[in-house]
Amino acid sequence: MDLLSRLPHQSRHGDARWRMDGSRFDELTRTLATPTSRRRTLRLLSGGTLALLAAALGAGDARATHHGCRHVGRPCTRDGECCSSRCRGSTGKQTCRSHNTRGCAVGPPDQFCFVAQCGSDLSCGCTNTTGRSGYCSDGSVSCYDPPCTTDRQCERLTGIVGAACIECATCAGGTGCSTPCSS
């Protein structure tokens, strides 16, 4: 009878214990015993250190996107990086900014892509932009092929300053252009 088969299957407290079979244990010990070059060890340690440093400084968060552009509130250096196409703030402290929110907040949209009513005009509704911001829309949604990703694209497509690229499941690609509520 080998040593592993004599190990108890349960502890005194009734908790199940894990048993490692002999082949997995042998593989683990061989891996740990295999000599590694100093260069490889240094590369692994420096790579891990850089990854931790980048995470601590928010490098992954700064580039967080879901439409290929940075969300509202994320650091930026130029308008083109932002879904809202608006990078504002003092040098070194710029962030992507929202526009035409008029009290709208991000929320679950209805089947027509709207979250709630906004403005004094009953046709105006809150929508979610691709930059993860609320936007007070005039109620229009235009779908394009290829789908929009940034507000600047919608301003060009519609010819209206302040237009936004909104999340809209009824459009192919899940986004469409909407224009701001005027009331």
Tell which residue, 65, 78, 62, 60, has the closest CA to residue 152: 78
User: Does residue 75 contact residue 60 with C-beta atoms inside 8 Å?
Assistant: no
Q: How high does pLDDT run on average in the chain?
A: 77
- Kindly state whether residue 78 falls inside one of the protein's structural domains: no
pLDDT category of residue 16 using cuts at 50, 70 and 90: very low
Q: Which of 7-21, 26-40, 43-57 has the least mean pLDDT?
A: 7-21
Omega of the bond prior to 108 within 30 degrees of 0, cis?
no
pLDDT band at 120 (very low <50, low <70, confident <90, very high): confident
pTM: predicted TM-score of the whole model, two decimal places: 0.61
Q: Which domain holds residue 125?
A: 116-178
Residue 132 lies inside a defined structural domain of this protein: yes
Task: Answer yes or no: is 150 within a domain.
Answer: yes
Written as six digits, the tokens of 179 are 């224009």
Residue 164 lies in a domain: yes
Q: Is residue 88 part of a domain?
A: no
pLDDT of residue 36: 64
Longest dimension (CA), the chain: 85
The C-alpha angle with vertex 114 and arms to 112 and 116, in degrees rounded to 5, equals 140
Domain-located, residue 103: no
* Predicted local confidence at residue 146, as pLDDT: 92
Does residue 3 surpass a pLDDT of 60?
A: no
Query: Considering its fold, how many domains does the chain have in total?
Result: 1
Does 30 reside within a domain? Answer: no
Going by pLDDT thresholds of 50, 70 and 90, the confidence category of residue 64 is: very low
Q: What is the pLDDT of residues 161-178, one digit of tens each?
A: 999 999 999 998 899 999
Backbone angle region of 159, left / alpha / beta, with phi > 0 → left and psi within -120 to 50 → alpha: left
Check residues 27 and 155 and name the one with the higher pLDDT.
Answer: 155
Whether 35 maps to a domain, the answer reads no
With bands split at pLDDT 50, 70 and 90, how would you rate the model's confidence at 25? low
**pLDDT above 80 for 42:** no
Query: Is residue 157 a contact partner of residue 142, using CB atoms and an 8 Å limit?
Result: yes
